[in-house]
Amino acid sequence: MLETEALRKVFKKQVAVDDVNLYLKQGESVGLLGPNGAGKSTFISMIATLTKPTSGIVTWNGKNVIKNPNIIRPTLGMVPQEIALYKELSAYENVKFFGKIYRLHGKKLEQRVQEVIELVGLKDRQKELVNNYSGGMQRRINIAVALLHEPEIIIMDEPTVGIDPQSRNYILEMVKKLNEEKGMTVLYTSHYMEEVERLCDRIYIMDHGKVIATGTKDELTGILSSEETINLELEQQSKVFEEALREQSTVLKVTEWEKGLRLIVPKNSRELAGIFHLAEQYQAAITSVNIQVPSLEDVFLHLTGRRLRD
């Protein structure tokens, strides 16, 4: 459906996007994860035909959109990171204006305006000036405008930045619903790993303009080492138990933490039975066991040596 091939953008001598390949199938929800400054916004701006690439190709259903932007524009809903609205107009006036420029008229226009305002949950406050809205409400109208013309694909550039948890949750649920119930294709960029994990079927991780990893969440976390972390919560610390664990060949590392011990073991080593046996032998009372699964955050850290929000 949408595909980029070696897409590149250079501003003066700064490479913002470095030969990125990406594809989206119809009805898919794809995440673009990366820290601020990774080149996500520039990349989607090129896909949306708003910025001309230095080189590379963007195709929509096999047709080159760089040469003819109007191939993709009518089917594309774009939610920019900025609040791209007229703040001195009401939510209703904003949505209606953009509806008109999308060539909606009369009853159809009014119907769509009300549908999208209802979808973002602002029906009762639609006559208020956008300027008087909270950040979260402004972001919801920002999304409503992008949905007016019933696009086939929606590109969302960090749509939850700087808003309250309630609005954030509302937006995430809405995006999920649009994808799952209405079959809308979604390209979602964020530096919040948990959002991408929650919404997306496939994920591209971007840093310094490059895609450094891609795949489903499981595939990505599988990139991580073959180790896993076991957190043991103990009634009280036991030096003899700790020493006994250190002597086990299958336990790679033992460290203390405030409630007990943290072990690093080879992945799927099935070491738990041996651990419980030793605990019984040295009369160490285990109150809780937690096997830590690697997150995308860990993956990013592993790949770049930095955290997503550094």
Interaction site with other proteins (CB under 8 A): 48-52, 69-70, 73-74, 76, 78, 80, 82-86, 88-89, 93, 97-98, 100-102, 145, 149
**The tokens of 108 are what?**
């159809």
Least CB distance from residue 102 to other proteins, whole Å?
A: 5
Residue placing its CB nearer to other proteins in the complex, 209 or 260: 209
Closer of 88 and 118 to other proteins (Cβ): 88
Q: How far is the CB of 16 from other proteins (least distance, A)?
A: 10
User: 51, exposed or middle or buried, with CB in 10 Å at 0-12, 13-18, 19+?
Assistant: middle
> Which residue, 48 or 245, is less far from other proteins as judged by CB?
48
Kindly state the smallest distance separating residue 84's Cβ from other proteins, in Å: 4
Residues 6+ apart with CB under 8 A from 39: 9, 16, 17, 18, 20, 206, 208, 209, 210
CB of 146 or CB of 213, closer to other proteins? 146
Shortest distance in whole angstroms from residue 202 CB to other proteins: 25
**Closest distance to other proteins from the beta carbon of 172 (Å):** 22
Nearer to other proteins among residue 88 and residue 164 (C-beta): 88
CB 206 within 8 A of CB 4: no
- Of 131 and 250, nearer to other proteins (C-beta) is 131
CA torsion through residues 264, 265, 270, 272, sign: negative
Instruction: Give the residue carrying structure tokens 């109150």.
Output: 287
In three-state form (DSSP H/G/I as H, E/B as E, the rest C), the secondary structure along 121-188 is CCHHHCCCEHHHCCHHHHHHHHHHHHHCCCCCEEEEECCCCCCCHHHHHHHHHHHHHHHHCCCCEEEE
Pairwise CA distance, residues 307 & 33, whole Å: 12
CB of 91 to other proteins, least distance (A): 14
